[in-house]
Structure 1
Amino acid sequence: MFGFKSLFNKEDPVEKQIIALLNSYRSAIFPLGIQSEWIKQANKVGKCWDVLVTLPFAAQSQHSLIQSYLAEQLNDTVNLAIQTEIPNHYKFKKIKHIVLVASGKGGVGKSTTAVNLALALKAQGASVGLLDADIYGPSIPSLLGLVGEQPTAKDDKLLNPMEKYGLKTMSIGYLVPAENATVWRGPMASQALNQLLNETDWGEIDYLVVDMPPGTGDIQLTMTQKLPASGAVIVTTPQDLALADAQKGIAMFSQVNLPIIGLIENMSYFNCTHCGGKNHLFGQDGGNQLAARHGVPLLAEIPLDICIREESERGENIIEKAMPIADHYTYCAQLVSSMLFLQSLETQGVEIIVSDD
């Protein structure tokens, strides 16, 4: 328990039973169980339970696992509904969490990962924005099928974000023709990025995912020092060269005291279509070893999959299409959201107490 008052009367045998079972449920997404204050309804009619849970982080597709667990423990039918309601602790304007998706070098799939992480968070019940902070090589318009589209102005000061698949997005790529090169020095590029961030009408959103430019230069430092981000996700491949650059990214964020949420190893392996075996084309266990060395979680090992390239080039939503590869991004999004919730409790000084009830 987190020390909050329960919404239920624990002396009621029916309520006490369901609370105890949900409190004892454990997984990587629920390391401390499902708390009493998240349980909004627990009714039993005959041998059927109706249970409603409102989570403070985005993990709605955990529904089937939790429902199966309850049905097995109760030996009854369970109708479980899960809602999402992220607490209103705003980091910036009306944005509750800002997540920087970064990499030490280009070509590791950082932008593709940022887009699919944002889409997965949206599919899990959160409201999400996506900012393309790569001023020199914006990829978001292409990955979302919005090349050539231009945002409208809300007024003389604010732009309306471009919307696709329920995401609110902004990129320099919407404002500069794709065939034109952005030839700007660092301070000018940083100023342009600040304008994109501050002069976009994001409204109220749970998560703003920021696709950072690769490397550890001026723009990266500007973003980490001026933006109240909740944490960073580092994307790498198993190659030694990519891992060496990812190491530099971790060091940069550590120097500016920004929490590292975790590491994503992209192009981790290739599933052979003939024998079904895993082929580690770019090396093996590099991401896992780097994460262990720095004491951060390895959030996902995303395989090399042609579906990612094909669907991304068409600006399609692989999460919405429920492709098998989407499971990696979905689980990663749930981990990120759960970790950010626990981190916010620590920031607020809420005492975390594990109950044996």
Structure 2
Amino acid sequence: MGCSDGGCGGCPSASAGCGSANEQQQQQQPQDMTAPMHELSNVKHVIGIVSGKGGVGKSSVTSLMAITQARKGYKTAILDADITGPSIPKVFGLKEKAYADEIGMYPVTSKGGVDIMSVNLLLENDTDPVLWRGPILGNVVKQFYSDVIWKDIDYMFVDMPPGTGDVAITVYQSLKLDGIIIVTSPQDLVSMIVEKAVKMADMMQVPIIGVVENYSYFHCPDNGKDYKIFGESHIEEILQKYGLLLLGRLPIDPTIANLCDNGALETIEKTNLEDVALPE
């Protein structure tokens, strides 16, 4: 049949044209880069804990979120994606090393029942530096997601590296995130950096669950007064600008620092994150 009716028929030139159109359509469609989970894994919700810069207590907030949800009866896990600065195992006092067999890798379970995978659970010495470049770091994160057997997890919290570098992009693209929680502090400079994190999440089309302001104030045990060590908070301006929810304000608490240093954060009496509502 010929091409006189305007159809593609057997016309070589028309077929080439259709092929070009198909190629353009495929290029316009976003490529799914989500990494698969292990066939034995079962994770209901994956939530990233992010910060625009280091030093705002992102890892401690990640740990407190996992502890809080575990106390509510949920099975929780932490994927430590901060490969070059892994602190989660120390916070939980983990001495055991993760292991693998022909089936897959297995996380280490804390005393409180939180499943944890971190590069420090694989290194011979906790103080050994991780001298890897971006692509390798990203592949390790994907291995923690795909090769580790995460059994019956209700909430997996991903402790992401600070900033918007290679590993953060890998997490956004490769892990099926249900949303992120942004950790910040009251400093003026941090407000600008929070906006960067908000815009990155928007570009990656990942919903923002809310914001946790850490180091918000110091409660003096001697006189009962609250002191704003880092100055007045400006977080309300960002919350209003982007329509975000404030999940909580955490104080500067020496008790938390001491418990983290001693690997006993799970013994904390109150996390101050008990009222945070997560996706069901």
- Measure, in 2, the Cα distance between the counterparts of 1:290 and 1:276: 30
**Structure 1 residue 157 displacement after superposition:** 4.1
Contact 1:229 1:258 in 2 (8 A): yes
Using the TM superposition, give the Cα deviation of residue 283 of structure 1 relative to its aligned residue in structure 2, in angstroms.
Answer: 2.0
1:121 alignment partner, one of 64, 69, 88: 69
Q: Give the counterpart of 1:175 among 122, 125, 130.
A: 122
Corresponding residue for residue 162 of structure 1: 108
**Counterparts of 2:215 and 2:82, CA distance in 1:** 21
Q: Distance in 2 between matches of 1:253 and 1:321?
A: 31
Write the distance in 1 (CA, Å) between the matches of 2:269 and 2:126: 30
Largest Rg, 1 or 2: 2
Q: How does 1:8-19 map to 2 (within 5 A)?
A: none
SS where residue 192 of structure 1 aligns?
helix
Tell me the equivalent position of 1:331. Answer: 275
Structure 1: gaps (5+ residues): 1-90, 342-357
Give the TM-score taking structure 2 as reference length.
0.82
Match of 2:262? Answer: 314
Matching residue's letter, 1:231: G
**Secondary structure at 1:267's aligned position in 2?**
coil
Residues 1:243 and 2:191 aligned together: yes
Residues 1:270 and 2:221 aligned together: no
CA deviation after TM superposition for structure 1 residue 290, in Å: 1.8
User: Given the alignment of the two structures, is residue 223 of structure 1 paired with residue 171 of structure 2, yes or no?
Assistant: yes
Residues 266-275 or 281-290, more deviating: 281-290
Task: Tell me the secondary structure at the aligned position of residue 106 of structure 2.
Answer: coil
Q: Deviations over 1:160-186 (max 9, x none)?
A: 110001001100111122222111111
Question: Where does residue 140 of structure 1 map in the other structure?
Answer: 88
The residue correspondences of 1:65-144 to structure 2 (distance < 5 A) are 93-144=41-92
1:112 is paired with a residue of what secondary structure?
helix
Q: Return the alpha-carbon distance in structure 1 between the equivalents of residues 153 and 127 of structure 2.
A: 32
What amino acid is aligned across from residue 298 of structure 1 in structure 2? Answer: L
- What per-residue deviation string (whole Å, max 9, x for no partner) do you get for residues 13-54 of structure 1? xxxxxxxxxxxxxxxxxxxxxxxxxxxxxxxxxxxxxxxxxx
Deviation larger for 294-303 or 284-293: 284-293
AA partner of residue 273 (structure 2): Y
Q: Deviations over 1:293-352 (max 9, x none)?
A: 21010000001011110111111135x5424xx2x12223xx2x2xx13xxxxxxxxxxx
Q: Is the 8 A contact 2:91 2:265 kept in 1?
A: no
The 8 Å contact of residues 236 and 263 in structure 1, kept in 2 or not, is answered as: yes
Q: CA deviation at 1:149?
A: 2.5
Query: Partner of 1:39 in structure 2?
Result: none
Aligned residue for 2:274, secondary structure, equals: helix
Distance in 2 (alpha carbons) for counterparts of 1:166 and 1:136: 25
Of 83, 97, 105, which residue of structure 2 is paired with 1:150? 97
Equivalent pairs, count: 240
TM-score using structure 1 length: 0.65
RMSD of the alignment, in Å?
1.5
CA contact (8 A) 1:264 1:287 kept: no
Structure 2 counterpart of 1:297, from 245, 262, 268: 245
Contact kept? 2:49, 2:183, Cα under 8 Å: yes
CA distance in 1, matches of 2:175, 2:257: 31
Comparing both chains, which one has the higher relative contact order based on Cα–Cα distances under 8 Å and sequence gaps of 6 or more?
A: 2
